[in-house]
Amino acid sequence: MNLQNPKKFKLLIDQAHEVALNVLRPISRKYDKAEHTYPKELDMLSSLVDGMNEGGDGMNAGAAVNKRGDTQTGNKNGVNMSTALSIVEMCYGDTGLLLSMPRQGLGNSAIAAVANDEQLERFNGTWAAMAITEPNCGSDSAAIRTTAVKDGDDYILNGEKIFVTSGERADSVVVWATLDKDLGRAAIKSFVVPKGSMGMTVERLEHKLGIKASDTATIRFIDCRVPAINLLGNTEIDVAKGFAGVMETFDNTRPLVAAMAVGCAKASLERIKEIFKDQLDANYSTPYLQTTHIEAQIYRLEAEWEAARLLMLKAAWMADNKQPNSREASIAKAKAGRVSNEVTLKCVELASSLGYNEDELLEKWARDSKILDIFEGTQQIQQLIIARRELGKSSSELK
């Protein structure tokens, strides 16, 4: 079992690392203080990323989940793996700036997961946000109330979405809506709604604890007309399949969110080790029970971080190799989100006053990490999904 990063991605990882250090870190505090200001430096960077992606596996905010079932032999490390490894390094630089990257939105992952071949080609190059969460809906994605009613060659959307990452800046928004409330989960579909569509209004931008470089919007849809061809994937309501179609999106995105958490925690761990370098055994030759309290805490955090990293890699590898990874994606996301929170906060604590002031980025990484245990399904939701998979229970049997 080879636990090293695939050698073919070394150049990609090195490039992402250099971008993190030389592009993202220098402007990190600037856009943390200038909330809702678009980081114009990302325009040039996103063009470079687009160029890298055209050459093959790169940092694509989307992967080939919908291609499962294709004949394939051997072991493949593809776009899921390369994207996850790139994201780790970019979030080592700044998580909020990574979330602000053009054409790398979570909606792009939804398109990659659910869209048919014609839609994949038509929406290629778009920057897509993803709108799922609603007021009073909480973490139950199946309880959404935004409606989509067929009207000729269009659907008419009505409803409100909150906490939409890049909701104001993106070219389009992937909106989850129900075709028939009486049919429950099976009737939920996702629609690509272009920016500026009549009836679509960005109501406000949220002020947040962290990831302030990223815009987080509330969007209202009032009789918003969307072409029927913008309904992603299968238009039929399959009660037997239920919610599985749109939920494939999360099989795509949860390993990527886990990668964000791994990258953010990596930044804090490296900085705290640098601060205490004179007190740490670089070769790990001192028996654990003979280490100081600070050494023991840092070594424990490193072990937790490594476990999260390996779980993330497993979920991404399974997606590349066309293996159903819903359980593993939730495990990776739950572990990495929780570990990132713990690592970043503990590093602030260990660094004392140095970690708490704005001369260091430690306090910012601690604030940024909190969202990584919340969005794309909270810690509690991930544990519920894992329990269902382990026990073989449906969502109606285990709530």
With tokens 């939409």, the residue in question is: 164
What is the DSSP track for 19-82?
Answer: HIIIIIHHHHHHHHHSTT---THHHHHHHHHHHHHHTSSS--S---GGGTTS---S----HHHH
Both structure tokens of 329:
């994606």
Return the exposure string of 352-372: e unless at least 16 CB atoms fall within 10 Å of the residue's CB, then b: eeebeeeebbbbbbbbbbbbb
| Residue 399 CA: distances (Å) to CA of 71, 281, 326, 377, 378 | 36, 47, 17, 15, 14
Q: Which residue among the candidates 168, 248, 304, 376 is catalytic per the annotation?
A: 376
376 flagged as catalytic: yes
Q: CB of 182 within 8 A of CB of 193?
A: no
With tokens 């090293």, the residue in question is: 4
Cα gap 171→318, rounded to integer Å: 30
Mind telling me the catalytic residues? 376
